[in-house]
Structure 1
Amino acid sequence: MMARILFFGKLADAAGGRSRDLSLAPETQTIDDLVSALSAKEAALASALNENSVRFIVNEMIASRDAAISDEDEIAFLPPVSGG
């Protein structure tokens, strides 16, 4: 299973780039599974992705951590946004 992963803002810095194509293990079925898989391999990214205010987008639709993901999905991670 392949997915296109996009990182924005400080998450791109933690990931070492704005995007990557990633082969997903069969047990990676939700956003939470994906966050766990990425976190297990990259400590800096783990910290950034596990912040409560990170938002998830699957195929251009806002998603929750328990949202299902599947082959060829585009998954974006958005950092917290502050404004004035």
Structure 2
Amino acid sequence: MKTVRVLYFASLRDAVGLAEEDVSTEALDLAGLYAQVAQRHGLQWPTAHLRVASDGAFARWSDAPQEGSEIAFIPPVSGG
């Protein structure tokens, strides 16, 4: 079991109601971690529409979460 800090941005933050939370996970990859928090919070965004970052750098969904890492889930953002 690993504990990571998950950061939510933009519409994900609004849907979850939190900017960040510590999550204990047995997920083998970042896609599994996202599936875990998506189920917990009822998120509907598919990974194909999101970016993921680990410790401040963009990551691949197949990367493994590391103990103590900061994982960010980033939805598309529009601006004007």
Which has the larger displacement, 1-10 or 61-70?
Answer: 61-70
Q: 1:5: which partner in 2? A: 6
Mapped partners of 1:51, 1:82: distance in 2:
18
Q: Runs ≥4 in structure 1, deviation > 6 angstroms?
A: none
Match of 1:72 among 63, 68, 75: 68
Q: Give the structure 1 partner of residue 29 of structure 2.
A: 30
TM-score with structure 1 setting the length: 0.82
Q: Which runs of 5+ in 2 are unaligned?
A: none
Deviations 1:6-33 (A, max 9, x none): 00101101111100011113xx121111
How many aligned positions are there? 79
- RMSD value, Cα: 1.6
3-state DSSP of counterpart to 1:57 = strand
Deviations 1:9-67 (A, max 9, x none): 01101111100011113xx1211110121222222x2x03x152211000111012111
2:38 matched residue in structure 1 = 39
TM-score normalised per structure 2: 0.85
Give the fraction of aligned pairs with identical amino acids, expressed as a percent: 30
Q: Secondary structure at the residue paired with 1:72?
A: coil
Whole-Å separation in 2 of the counterparts to 1:19 and 1:39: 14
Q: Is the 8 A contact 1:29 1:70 kept in 2?
A: no
Q: What is the letter of the counterpart of residue 12 of structure 1?
A: R
